[in-house]
Structure 1
């Protein structure tokens, strides 16, 4: 989910924690648990600082180790240690448990969007992305805001947020059922599909779809129960070409391939030598595929420049590649 949603989730968990008599019975504990819940709801995304280094490092590691099983326990432990050193007379166990819940809930909800996480690493070192909830879901966000407003106007925070989470749980169940219905319908049209990728949009009745068979890849949109096809491409595995082998040594392309399960590639010969380009088919926007990886090499296959990330026009891409030189 986005940062704003994780913030309001932290506040909501801090309110929910007042159902715990150890928390509600002490103003100090109430304050400490609220801080623990808010910080814990953000902690798994502290790896966002990797963007300061470069996109390749961020793409390869974001939602990786910081969302893994060991991190479920490391984050609440670190946060609890810091809070107990700064706030005296707190119940360490209950503070840790509520902070752990905040961290775990962050990781859990991230599984449901199309980006996903490595939530079960190191036991299962692969991305888990269910493609059910948009990275920013207006219903989930607004529901939290309503709960916070009701708390502000005097309702009991514990019962208010317990009821709110009951509603959100029903919402998740509905979205899972809706996604499964889309999947089954697409599968009925493509029984030979080896992979079907669904990406939710801001609209509940609209889904981005990529279908992969042994021979072809289909890019489509499901809206109001109707499947609209945009493009069809031959499914081509990455060939054993020396130019691509050399391009894959570049960290930007390597990071892209570690993340993207549905892509197209092309090699073009240009004045500087060669350009190797990969595009992620899951993120079609206004007729374009803005999430890309591109590597420029000279005639001796030496890497001149590269980039991976979101590009919405050629001028931006040109500037990125010039900066990379």
Structure 2
């Protein structure tokens, strides 16, 4: 989920902590628990700082080890130990238990996005991405804001947030049902589809669709149970070429391939350079495919420049590649 949603979820868990008699009756413990819960709701995303290094490292590692089983166990312990120094005399076990819940909830809700997490590490490096909830879901966010507002104006917090999460649980079940209906509609539209990728959007009834059969890739959107296919690309194997071999060894290209399960490729000449471009088909937006990986290779089979990430215009892509076209 996005940072804002993780924050409001942490605030909601703070309300639930008041069901614990020790937290409710001890202001010192309450302070430590509230700090631990809010921190625990955010700390798995500390790997966002990897963006400062480069996109390849970020794409390969975001929601990776920081969302793994060891991390879920380690974060609450680290935060609880730190809080034992910052807030002396707080009940350590209660601080740890509620902080653990906050960290667990953060990682748990992230697996329902299309991006997913490597939550099963170290047992599996597979990305767990169920794809029923958008990274920012306005309904989930609004429900949290409504519940937090009710608490602020005097509603009993424990009951308020129990009701909130019962409603959200039912909402998740509804999203699963909607995705199943969309998948069935895609199978009717493309009966021989071998791979189907369905991702939610911010809009309740709209879903991104990408599918492949033996011959083609199909890209479209589902509106309710109606599937509209916007683009169709022939499915071809990448040709054998030393230029392509050199590109596939580049870290940006490798990061893209490790993350994207369905993409098409293109090769072209850009000035004196050979360009290999990979285009993720899952994120079509206004006739544009913004998530790409590009490598430029010279005649010595060296990668001169490369990039992977989100780009919404060719001019910006050229700037990212530090490429100046010949005049």
Same fold? TM cut 0.5: yes
Corresponding residue number in structure 2 for 1:57: 57
Contact 1:252 1:306 (8 Å CA) reproduced: yes
**CA distance, structure 1, for counterparts of residue 7 and residue 187 of structure 2:** 37
**CA distance, structure 1, for counterparts of residue 69 and residue 128 of structure 2:** 13
Corresponding residue number in structure 2 for 1:35: 35
Shift of 1:195: 1.4
Runs of 4+ with deviation above 4 angstroms: none
Q: Find the residue that maps to 2:75 and give its secondary structure.
A: helix
Shift of 1:28: 1.2
Cα shift readout 1:37-60 (whole Å, capped 9, x = no counterpart): 110010110000000111111111
**2:110 is the alignment partner of 1:110:** yes
**2:145 is the alignment partner of 1:157:** no
**CA distance, structure 2, for counterparts of residue 172 and residue 286 of structure 1:** 28
**CA distance, structure 1, for counterparts of residue 33 and residue 290 of structure 2:** 41
**2:1 is the alignment partner of 1:4:** no
Corresponding residue number in structure 1 for 2:253: 253
Corresponding residue number in structure 1 for 2:314: 314
Shift of 1:240: 4.0
**CA distance, structure 1, for counterparts of residue 54 and residue 296 of structure 2:** 17
Q: Find the residue that maps to 1:282 and give its secondary structure.
A: coil
Gapped regions of structure 1 (runs ≥ 5): none
Q: Find the residue that maps to 1:187 and give its secondary structure.
A: helix
Corresponding residue number in structure 1 for 2:279: 279
Aligned residues: CA RMSD: 1.4
Q: Find the residue that maps to 1:268 and give its secondary structure.
A: strand
Q: 1:168-179 maps to which residues of 2 (within 5 A)? A: 168-179=168-179
237 and 69 in structure 1: CA distance in 2 versus 1, 3 angstrom threshold? farther
**CA distance, structure 2, for counterparts of residue 78 and residue 193 of structure 1:** 47
**CA distance, structure 2, for counterparts of residue 239 and residue 112 of structure 1:** 36
Q: Find the residue that maps to 1:322 and give its secondary structure.
A: coil
Q: 1:1-325 maps to which residues of 2 (within 5 A)? A: 1-322=1-322
Shift of 1:235: 2.1
Shift of 1:272: 2.1
Shift of 1:239: 4.2
**How many residue pairs were aligned?**
324
Shift of 1:279: 0.7
Gapped regions of structure 2 (runs ≥ 5): none
**CA distance, structure 1, for counterparts of residue 77 and residue 188 of structure 2:** 48
Contact 1:19 1:159 (8 Å CA) reproduced: no
Q: Find the residue that maps to 1:283 and give its secondary structure.
A: coil
Contact 2:119 2:128 (8 Å CA) reproduced: yes
Shift of 1:161: 0.8
**CA distance, structure 2, for counterparts of residue 247 and residue 157 of structure 1:** 56
**CA distance, structure 1, for counterparts of residue 267 and residue 4 of structure 2:** 40
Shift of 1:273: 2.1
Shift of 1:323: 7.6
Q: Find the residue that maps to 1:128 and give its secondary structure.
A: coil
**CA distance, structure 1, for counterparts of residue 159 and residue 199 of structure 2:** 33
Contact 2:185 2:227 (8 Å CA) reproduced: no
**CA distance, structure 1, for counterparts of residue 299 and residue 203 of structure 2:** 47
Shift of 1:281: 0.4
Q: Find the residue that maps to 2:39 and give its secondary structure.
A: helix
Deviates more, 1:66-75 or 1:182-191: 182-191
Contact 2:185 2:226 (8 Å CA) reproduced: no
**CA distance, structure 2, for counterparts of residue 23 and residue 217 of structure 1:** 55
Q: Find the residue that maps to 1:295 and give its secondary structure.
A: strand
Q: TM-score, normalised by structure 1?
A: 0.96
